[in-house]
Amino acid sequence: MPEPVKPVVGVFTAQEELFLEVAGALAVRLGEPDYATPPMDFNQTAYYAKEMGPGLKRRIYGFPRLIDPGELAAIKRWTVGLEERWRIGGKRQVNIDPGYVSLAKLVLATTKDNIHRIYLGDGVYAEVTLFFRKGHFHPWPWTYPDYASEEYRAIFEHIRTLYRGQLRAHDRVLEKMIHP
């Protein structure tokens, strides 16, 4: 059985008022966020501007309920459905990108294939976006520029610290169940 992992979700939109609604919708499945960044400029690419407009902002959320990493594909399919809730005139108003943090890596889910992505099923691929070595997260050549930045890597290092504490508590609970 794989070690449980900490779910994380990146959300971006041009309408900052949607962050609260999206976080509430995510909480239904993942619990209330135990970590959230303030809105950050999302300007590393113009890819989404035509559909979603200018002035995009991103927030990254961490969630307290540890999950089996095998749940990632189902969570991605669920978040694709959530995006539909806010679609107007065929255009997304919000982009929701789930993933998880483990002790060794940040994994993101996507519906887009590429040479470095692994198919999980149901139209979903996984990408190891950052890897942890010598006390820090590091990018790969394919890592998106925002995720490769020092700012984002520090965010995920903080989330990893939260996760490590949760994992220890989780292990203590399991130990008590096995050896009461």
What tens-digit pLDDT sequence spans the chain (180 residues)?
Answer: 899 999 999 999 999 999 999 999 999 999 999 999 999 999 888 888 889 989 999 999 999 999 999 999 999 999 999 999 999 999 999 999 999 999 999 999 999 999 999 999 999 999 999 999 999 999 999 999 999 999 999 999 999 999 999 998 766 555 555 656
pTM value is 0.92
Q: What is the pLDDT of residue 169?
A: 78
CA 53 to chain centre: 22
Length of the chain: 180
Domain positions in the chain are 6-178
Side-chain-side CA neighbours of residue 33 (13 Å): 21
CA 93 to CA 12: how far, in whole Å?
A: 9
| Non-local CB neighbours of 139 within 8 Å, separated by 6+ positions | 129, 130, 147, 148, 153
- For 38-59, letters b (16+ CB in 10 Å) and e give eebebeeeeebeeebeeebbbb
